[in-house]
Amino acid sequence: MTPDYSIASVANADPFVATLGAYVAEPDFPCVGARSAFNKGRVRHGLYGRLGARIDVATLCADLERFSDEFPNPGAEPVTFVAMFEDEAMSESLFADRMWRELQKVHAHDRDAFDWDPEVSDDPSEPDFSFSVAGRAFFVVGLHPNASRLARRAPIPCLVFNFHDQFEALRTSGKYAGLQKVTRQRDLALQGSINPVLAQFGDASEARQYSGQPVDDAWRCPFHALRTPVEAE
């Protein structure tokens, strides 16, 4: 049985889920992993308040913990958690700012109960960085209506959480390279170019990819891991 995730309002969430599913089902949508997760019922979701507003941070943390408990060993079939937020007009730079604000607040709440996943770095400038919730690493993908990359132009603001250890397992098995190749070919066909912030998994900090906003070499991630009670205040 699928866990009863703490969605703010199931009645209000369902139309958003249907809209998001239609977006993923578009013939030219490039991410084959996301499409597979939707088609095979391996997507979990929650509807929260305004991105970066802190209102539903505790709920989001609890939902991600439950999601992690549901899939301790996700296997080779893609699985994902989609955090959906209230629809509002945001530029790409504002979305990136709100996204990092949201992740910082999630971390501030999460650290009271969990340590950072020891398999990854908590320093977003390091190539082995990955975001951690409930003691488990996640690769985060930001989506919103005004994204410059068409593949990220979802109908509502979303943060998509993918298990880092599943990416590692897929890479070890050799399946990740194939998925990545197909996704990039489809992205090229859709946009006419490959997203310049993309890197080979593990070669550069994945933090550069989270928001989808193009960043240059001078970009510095605004997120920082909290290590003392003073920092959390």
pLDDT value at residue 159: 96
Distances in Å between the alpha carbon of 48 and those of 51, 53, 158, 198? 8, 10, 10, 28
Kind plus residue range of the DSSP H or E element containing 104: helix 92-110
pLDDT value at residue 133: 97
Indicate the burial class of 216 (C-beta count within 10 angstroms; 0-12, 13-18, 19 or more). exposed
pLDDT digits (tens, 9 = 90+) for 152-170: 889 999 999 999 988 777 7
Question: Which residues fall within 8 angstroms of residue 132, CB to CB, at 6 or more apart?
Answer: 107, 110, 114, 116, 117, 120, 122, 138
Task: Give the three-class secondary structure for 38.
Answer: helix
For the CA atoms of 125, 178, 137, 220, the dihedral, rounded to the nearest 10 degrees, stands at 20
From CA 67, how far away is CA 5, in angstroms rounded? 8
What pTM does this model have? 0.85
pLDDT digits (tens, 9 = 90+) for 169-194: 777 777 666 666 776 777 677 777 76
Return the structure tokens found at 167.
Answer: 């990416």
From CA 205, how far away is CA 190, in angstroms rounded? 25
pLDDT digits (tens, 9 = 90+) for 1-53: 344 443 333 345 567 777 788 888 888 887 878 888 888 888 899 989 899 98
pLDDT digits (tens, 9 = 90+) for 41-98: 888 999 898 999 877 899 999 999 999 999 999 888 889 999 999 888 899 999 999 9
Q: Where are the domains of the chain?
A: 10-232
pLDDT value at residue 14: 67
pLDDT digits (tens, 9 = 90+) for 196-228: 655 544 467 899 999 999 888 899 999 999 975
